[in-house]
Chains A and B, each alone.
Chain A
Amino acid sequence: AQKITQTQPGMFVQEKEAVTLDCTYDTSDQSYGLFWYKQPSSGEMIFLIYQGSYDEQNATEGRYSLNFQKARKSANLVISASQLGDSAMYFCAMRGNSGNTPLVFGKGTRLSVIA
């Protein structure tokens, strides 16, 4: 079974500062994928970034980067130069490599960016 743990229910960050959202995972799969999604107050789920378990480099997408530490089973999301529009819920998720398996989500972290 797979499990995602997000230990920060809420985080505050000053505008233009960087912030790290924590995510740890547990799986017995050798190959798996890790994802981060953003859910603004309007409710939609927006895909941000992906990291494969065999990827040697940390994923980056614009202001988002994923700090992947496989031995620690952590996949933290780093948002640089925070903007007011980054205020949202952020969900870490994973899936195994056994067919088109569904995503397993953490409980999320609510990020508030302060002007």
Chain B
Amino acid sequence: NAGVMQNPRHLVRRRGQEARLRCSPMKGHSHVYWYRQLPEEGLKFMVYLQKENIIDESGMPKERFSAEFPKEGPSILRIQQVVRGDSAAYFCASSPRGGGPSNQPQHFGDGTRLSIL
């Protein structure tokens, strides 16, 4: 009965390195959302993906950030050339279907805490 799985739980990178964050949705879920949480803030939406498609990336910074959700395997949030300001908790959520009522809660993973040295 696995929920949303994110790894790693903690990730430390030096400035200029690349960070890769992984998210496996709940079984049967085909929609993945990535959110970023800065210290003492709420979660802010970054990108929404279905399998092999980016549906909405309006919250994603234009440079250095990218996301994918391949047909096989987890969703990946990739941050290139990381800077100190990228230090945050990154959460992934999944939901079972597109469209329909707004009452589908999003099930969150435990997050990845990214620290940039």
Using a CB–CB distance below 8 Å, which chain A residues touch chain B?
A: 4, 31-33, 35, 37, 42-45, 47, 50, 52-53, 91, 93, 95-97, 99-108
Contacts and interface: CB of A to CB of B under 8 A. Distances in A.
A99 B91 CA distance: 21
Contact of A100 (B45, B104, B109, B111): B104
Contacts of B89: 43
Contacts of A105: 35, 42-44
B28 interface: no
B101 interface: yes
A44 B33 contact: no
B31 A45 contact: no
B43 A100 contact: no
Interface string B31-42: 101010000111
Of B35, B104, B106, most A-chain CB atoms within 10 Å: B106
Q: Which 4 A-B pairs have the closest CB atoms?
A: A33-B102, A105-B42, A45-B108, A102-B45
Contacts of B106: 47, 103
B95 A100 contact: yes
Contacts of B103: 33, 50, 52
Of B42, B43, B48, most A-chain CB atoms within 10 Å: B42
